[in-house]
Structure formats: structure tokens, C-alpha cells
Structure 1
Amino acid sequence: MVANTQTHPEQQYLALMRHVWTQGSERTDRTGVGTRSVMGAVLRFELAGGAMPLVTTKRVYWKTATRELLWFLTGETNIRPLVLQGVKIWNEWPHARYVRETGDALPLDDFVARIAEDEAFAVRWGELGPVYGKQWTDWPTYIRTSDGRFERGPGVNQIAQVVRSLRDDPGSRRHIIEGWNVADLDQMALPPCHKTYQFHVADGRLNAVLYQRSCDVALGLPFNLWSAALLTRMIAQQTDLEPGELVWMGGDTHLYLNHAHLIEEQLSREPRGYPALKILRRPASVFDYRIEDFAVHGYTPHPPIQAPVAV
């Protein structure tokens, strides 16, 4: 599916949602909920002039998505820092593991409260495994010793590496951040969905492609688009480039069958305005941004639409 950019940029998101819902193949899935799914989709968004792909046909909590991105950049893999900021988007996975492994049917809200209050409990039960931030900032390497064994070597900070390569060799075709570490997948609470980022410099502009192997169009994609655009804007600032185009590519692109009310309501709405992002300061590095550094203008969305997360 190729984006039509002649109308409001959000219309391509709505067209993708409509296409998946009306034309997608109905399938069983890992969660047991069931989906309608298509394979392969493309959306394109211009980021010049502060433009951001921030969905307006329902409220998207962009500060929550931003806090998650900043958490990724710390390399942290425990939910406690997110919980302490009121970010709930990763809570279900460690909670499900806790219930499964202990047999204690502790309600989710009580589990989250204990994560916040009890650091030792959080260390034991709040861990997600080597998810996004770990792979982005500390990809494992191995060194062969003199006796033929392999030992853990220094980790690779892919984020720092890409920023450096964009500065030193902008024409390279290797500006890539990869999350799909096959050896670590079984240790992750959820293997990376937004898995591969590639950056491209042309005429002083930083363009980005995100390939997403699995995409929940209703709940996940609005967050993914915002985060990918924000990361691109941050890296552009750090490398003295102008923001260019974000190209999003979806593999298994799906809607959950229990999201019908959300889909029908959202498709009945029209986009409102053109939200824009201003970055209020330039920190020393891409790892030093704070939530206070970002301001969004012109965002007057329709009300939020609640729907369950499939775990």
C-alpha cells in the first residue's frame, strides 16, 4: 500500500486502518485475540518545519511515548523508571510473568504499586529482558580467547555509533540501528516490533526509514510514528542536519478483532490541524534530552478511544 500525500498526511494512516480492517486476512495470533492482517505497508511523513506524524483523530499521549523513547536511550530494561513517571505501557508483560510463575493472581494495579514502592520486588519482577534499549546501547559482542573459548566483549552503542557516522561519513549506507538480536529473543518479554531504523542524508536533510516487523495499527502505530519521528529530529539536531522525511514500512500490519469499536469510531473522524514539535534546547548528546525539552504546538485532537492491549 503506497501513501497518498496529496491530502492531510494523517489520511494515509486512516486509509491504512480502513484497508486492514476491510481487506485484511483474518488470522489467529500469539495472543489468542485474533487479527485482520495485511503484509507490507508504506507511509511517508515530511518532518520539515516542525511537522510531526502525531495522530489527531484520537488523542495520542505524546509525552508518554517520549518518556518511553528517553527510557530506551538509557539502556534500561526494568519498568520501574517508567512506573515512577506514571508510564503504563509495559506493565502487562511483567505482570503476566509474575502471575504465571508465582500463581499469585495479584491485580495489575497492585502489582504496579508494588513495583513503585519496593525496589527489590521491582528488580525481581519488573525486568523485561534485553529489549530495545539494551540492544540499542549495549549490543553484546564476543571475543575469542587464546584457548578457543568466547568471552563477552564490550557492548556496541548503536545510537552513538550512528550519530558519529552521520557526522563523519554522511554518505554511508550503514547508518542503521537494529533491535532484532536473534540470540536474545527468547530472553525478551516481547521481541522488538519496531526493529530496524536506517538513516539517509541528502541535501543537508536527515531522512529515516523504520521497518516494523509487527504493527498494531490502532494502538501501537500512533506511538511508533511519533517516536521514530522524534528520534529522527533528535539525531538531526545532534548532527547539524535539517529533518527530512520519515518513511514507515510495516511487515505484518494488523488490527485486533476486539478493537472494532475503536476502529469504527476513529474512521468516522476527520484530522484536525497540523501539530508541530519544537525542541527547546540542544543538549550535549542524544542521551541527554529531558521531557522538558519538547513542546508541541497546534495539537487539538479528538477525544481518546480506549481499547484493551493484547498481551
Structure 2
Amino acid sequence: MNQPPPPQPPLSAPDHPEQQYLALMRHIWEQGDERMDRTGVGTRSVFGAQLRFDLSENRIPLLTTKRVFWKVAAREMLWFLTGDTNIRALLEQGVTIWSDWPLAKFRKASGEDISQQAFEARIVADEGFARLWGELGPVYGKQWVDWPTYEYGADGKYTRGPGINQVAQVVESLRCNPGSRRHIIEGWNVAELDRMALPPCHKTYQFHVSGNRLSCILYQRSCDVALGLPFNLVGATVLTRMIAQQAGYEPGELVWMGGDTHLYLNHAHLVEEQLGRVPSGDPKLLLKRQPASIFAYAIEDFDVQDYAPQGVIRAPVAV
């Protein structure tokens, strides 16, 4: 299972923020603990990693050493904020990043060797089929905007209480009590993990105010550095920018922290190619308007400028 180390990358500006990401990728590939994992693919992994990105002046940590489809990450974040847990709305927008898990479930249950494209088309065309096979369970957005509560009645039974909208609460607390240490959005609902297609990887967001700047820490329990992390950085930036605008702050810093931080063994070609590239440029994320609510943004409200990435590097998703 051992792979030869990738070639050393060409020299580039040491202060480019993307160098942090490339250094983490190299460290994992060369020094990570090689181990089998849930997917059976195998990884090289380190435990405990940190990246820091300045979001001031509209900056966004959008990788330039390969193309990252930022609109996909932004559409996913907007979908989370709706609390929806069915892939149909994503597929209607051309976002296919959540298809693997429902597709695997359908193939196993039906025995039908349907292609991903045909499965996605059926989800979009058939509402009943989507209800049955497009559901992911109470993932991410469901916990963010409708965390379940339970009330103990006089009859000695528990009944479902009103859901907790953590996102709305954080925006309000940032407006009214900026010095609080409780500006947190949490996705790790232990009671509902078994019902989720995939337990949350980017599980905890905490926000902090310093002066007029809003910063965010994102903690991920598990991180696919090659495929997942580039999207997670975009999504966290989009969320931070929206919350900052709604609460009346300028963007500060994005601090990313990883638990099990890994590269899959079948991503060797991606690692080697990307580490041989030189980052450049300073992409910017502009918010074109301020909606009345954190829940009223649309993809048309975002514009990325000065983004000239190198080519796409494709690799399989481990399910």
C-alpha cells in the first residue's frame, strides 16, 4: 500500500496563504499514519491540524493550484440554511456532491445497477421516488435550523417540542451580546447520528468578535484534504460573510481545525500533481446585496473575482 513520495514542488512565494494547504497535504502524504478506514480505501492520516486565513478586504481561501467550483460549495451552504435533507433541490441546481450515499443505498436495496446520471435524473423527475430514495436523514442543515427538543408532559410521556434554530440564535447573539463565548452552531446531535447518511464532518462553527471584525473557527472531526477541504473552506467563508453582514461586522479570520485529517491512498495522482503546482493570485468574494435575513440569500448574491485557477484534478470520492 506504500506509495512513493511526490516530487518537491517548484519554489513559490512563501507568504501565499495557499502554501498552508499545500504544506499540510505534503505533511500528511509523507508522514501520515497509513491505516484502513470505514470506506475500505485506506488513508494516510494525521490528528490535529490548523489553517488560518485572512478574510478581510473580501478575501476567500479559494485554491488556485486546482479549480474549485465555488458555486457548488455556495449552493450547498445555502441549501443547509433551508434545513432541507433531500438531494432533489440540490440536483435541480446541478449539484451532485451528495448523490453517492443515496445511490449506494438504492443499489444495495434494489439490486439495480443504475448509473449515477440516471439515478439523479429520476430523483429530479419523480417526487415520490425522491422522497423514498433522495433522503439523507437529519444531516447538517436540519440540526442547524431545527435541532429537535422534547418536552415531558403531565402524562409522563415525552413529546416533540419546538425546534431550535441555531443559526438565527447566533446572528441575534452577535448583534446583542458580541462578547459572548457561546456563538456556536453545532451539527453533532448524538441522538440522531444513526439516522444520518453521513454524520457531520464539519461539525462545529464558533464565532468571535474583535472590534468590528467577525472571525470563525470551523472544527472538522474528519477531513478529506484533497476533495473535501477545498469545499469546506469556501462554505465556511460564505457562512461567515453572510453572518458578518447580517450582524453588522466586517469579515475577520477563518480558522480551520481538523481532527482526523487525511488523504486517501487512491488520490496519489492528485497529490503529486497538485504539489507540483505554484499558487498565485488573490481571489475575492463580493456580496452584491444585503437581504433582510440570513435565510434570504441566493446564489446570485455572490460574485468571485480575480480567480484564475489551474486545471481541474479529478479523483474518486470514497463512500
Task: Name the residue aligned to 2:270.
Answer: 262
Q: 2:162 is aligned with what amino acid? A: P
Is 1:8 matched with 2:16? Answer: yes
Give deviations 1:207-261, integer Å, cap 9, x for gaps. 1100000000000000001110110011000011010011000000000000000
**Structure 1 counterpart of 2:26, one-letter code:** R
Q: Secondary structure at the match of 1:190?
A: coil
Q: Does 1:60 align with 2:68?
A: yes
Which residue in the other structure is 1:85 paired with? 93
- TM-score (norm. length: structure 2): 0.95
Question: How is 1:83-232 mapped onto 2 (pairs within 5 angstroms)?
Answer: 83-232=91-240
Moved over 4 A (4+): none
1:242 corresponds to which of 245, 250, 256: 250
Match of 2:8 in 1: none
Deviation of 1:149 after TM superposition, in Å, equals: 1.2
CA distance in 1, matches of 2:106, 2:154: 42
Q: CA deviation at 1:204?
A: 1.1
Aligned letter for 1:62? W
For structure 2, the residue ranges without an aligned partner over 5 or more in a row are: 1-12
Is the Cα–Cα contact under 8 Å of residues 16 and 280 in structure 2 kept in the other structure?
no
Shift of 1:6: 6.2
Rounded Cα–Cα distance in structure 1 between residues aligned with 2:108 and 2:196: 16
Please give the per-residue CA displacement for 1:51-104, whole angstroms capped at 9, x wherever unaligned: 011011000000000000000000000000000111010000000011111222
- The aligned counterpart of 1:295 is 303
Secondary structure in structure 2 of the residue aligned to 1:40: strand
Query: In the aligned structure 2, how far is the partner of 1:120 from the partner of 1:190?
Result: 23
CA distance in 2, matches of 1:114, 1:215: 31
C-alpha separation in 1, matches of 2:181 and 2:313 = 40
Q: 1:71 pairs with 79, 82, 95, which one? A: 79
The answer to whether the aligner puts 1:305 opposite 2:316 as a matched pair is no
Quote the Cα distance in structure 2 between the aligned partners of 1:227 and 1:55.
Answer: 13
CA contact (8 A) 2:55 2:254 kept: yes
Equivalent residue letter for 1:195: K
1:142-193 residue CA offsets vs partner (Å, 9 max, x unmatched) = 0000122111000000000000000010000000000000000000000000
> What secondary structure does 2:290 align onto?
coil
Distance in 2, matches of 1:303 and 1:92, equals 24
TM-score, normalization by structure 1? 0.98
Q: In structure 2, how many angstroms separate the alpha carbons of the residues matched to 1:207 and 1:274?
A: 19
Sequence identity of aligned pairs in percent? Answer: 69
3-state SS of paired residue (1:213): strand
Deviations 1:92-135 (A, max 9, x none): 00000111112222121111110011111001100000000100
Distance 1:65 1:219 in 2: 12
The alignment covers a number of residue pairs equal to 307
1:47 offset after TM fit, Å? 0.3
Aligned partner of 1:73: which letter?
L
